[in-house]
Amino acid sequence: MPARHIATEPRRPRVLDVTLRDGGYLNAWRFSDATVREHAKVLGEVGVPYVEVGYVNDDPALEPVLQCAPDLLRQVGEDTGRARVVAMLGVNGRSPSEVAALLRPRAEVLDVVRLTCFVERVEHVLAAAEAVRSTGVTCSLNLISITAYEPEEIVAAVERVDRAGVADWIYLADSRGALLPERAAELFTGVRAAWPGMAGFHAHDNLGHAVANSRVALESGFDLVDGSLNGYGLGGGNTDLADALALVGDVDRPRLAALAERVAAEMPPPPPFQHLYPLTGWCNLEQEWAPDVWRAHGEDAREFLHGLPWKRYKDVEEVLGDA
């Protein structure tokens, strides 16, 4: 295995920063080179152990953090010092050979790749995870939109991943920001019982439960929780990085606040439907559906969502069809 493989590192609660990747949804990933470098440098200095850069892709038309080219990953690794470099990869229709081809040039400068996975796509993503393993990069299989599924479905998917033996980490992502802390404990305990390896949790804060849910994950034996500066992230945002770090140890809030100001300067004003995200969380909708609801209902969107029942929606048409 390449020297950067980290599956055997000692287990202790840690934080993974997602500012550039998940926060990029707010500014179309148009972070300046100087901000990316300063971000990596400061996070390394304050002791954030994992820094996610963006998405892996070879399309030269994309923004740098949506390509995660080897040179960028190498530079981030040098700027962070001891922090581990992370990127995300959407498997989508990619074959295992395509996944391996994307990662081989990056294997010496990328510590962890996180593969996004809906529960019904586990078998397809497991083939990609096996391809990741062939490159020596640590592989996290990230089960997303967990509130779209029954807890038993999540646990069964985790058991399937465990049997396959091709992933190093399992992550649960509350992509909709709809998970309630009182429901989280049972789910996390079931997953922890089914999965002996490294486990992580990615929260969204639509309902204001990101910190509480992250705490429950750690109390349930999870190893990792995600955070971002100012909670920047898609839709309702993520767990604030400073709050996430406070869950596992000390935090240098003044340094993080200064860095957050720099990143804030590259963020646009919030969209006109920003006020809908607490309600989309309450109804258990995908973050990406808020613009569709806004286009369909405009100023009446809030009233529409107030009347929408909580369901495990699988498609936006289920929502718009209730208009």
Q: What is the pLDDT along the chain (323 residues), one digit of tens a residue?
A: 333 445 456 778 999 999 999 999 999 999 999 999 999 999 999 999 999 999 999 999 999 999 999 999 999 999 999 999 999 999 988 999 999 999 999 999 999 999 999 999 999 999 999 999 999 999 999 999 999 999 999 999 999 999 999 999 999 999 999 999 999 999 999 999 999 999 999 999 999 999 999 999 999 999 999 999 999 999 999 999 999 999 999 999 999 999 999 999 999 999 999 999 999 999 999 999 999 999 999 999 999 999 999 999 999 999 998 55
Compute CA 46 distance to the chain's CA centroid, rounded to the nearest angstrom.
21
- Tokens 């498997």 found at: 91
Domain with CATH 3.20.20.70 in the chain: 14-264
Scored b (16 or more CB within 10 A) or e, 223-232 reads: bbbbbbbbbb
**Cα–Cα nearest to 63, from 101, 98, 37, 25:** 25
Q: Within 10 A of 11 (CB to CB), how many other CB atoms are there?
A: 12
Q: Which two tokens stand for residue 105?
A: 């040039």
CA dist 105 and 100 (Å) reads 9
DSSP of 286-318, one letter per residue? -GGGHHHHHHHHGGGHHHHHHTPPP----SHHH
Enumerate residues 6+ apart whose C-beta is below 8 A from 317: none
DSSP of 200-235, one letter per residue? EEE-B-TTS-HHHHHHHHHHTT--EEEEBGGG--ST
pLDDT per position as a tens digit, 44-72: 999 999 999 999 999 999 999 999 999 99
Beta strands at 112-117 and 84-90: parallel, antiparallel or unpaired: parallel
Enumerate residues 6+ apart whose C-beta is below 8 A from 163: none
CA dist 311 and 226 (Å) reads 26
CA dist 41 and 38 (Å) reads 5
CA dist 200 and 311 (Å) reads 25
**Cα–Cα nearest to 33, from 62, 89, 72, 60:** 72
Helix (H) or strand (E) holding 319: helix 316-320
DSSP of 10-60, one letter per residue? PP--EEEE-HHHHTHHHHTT---HHHHHHHHHHHHHHT--EEEEEE----T
Compute CA 278 distance to the chain's CA centroid, rounded to the nearest angstrom.
19
CA dist 52 and 58 (Å) reads 17
CA dist 13 and 302 (Å) reads 39
Phi, psi dihedral angles at 177 (to 5 degrees): 65, 35
Compute CA 118 distance to the chain's CA centroid, rounded to the nearest angstrom.
13
Q: Could you tell me the pTM of the whole model? A: 0.95
Compute CA 308 distance to the chain's CA centroid, rounded to the nearest angstrom.
27
CA dist 1 and 119 (Å) reads 29
- Tokens 């058991």 found at: 159
What is the dotted CATH code of the domain comprising 14-264? Answer: 3.20.20.70
CA dist 43 and 65 (Å) reads 17
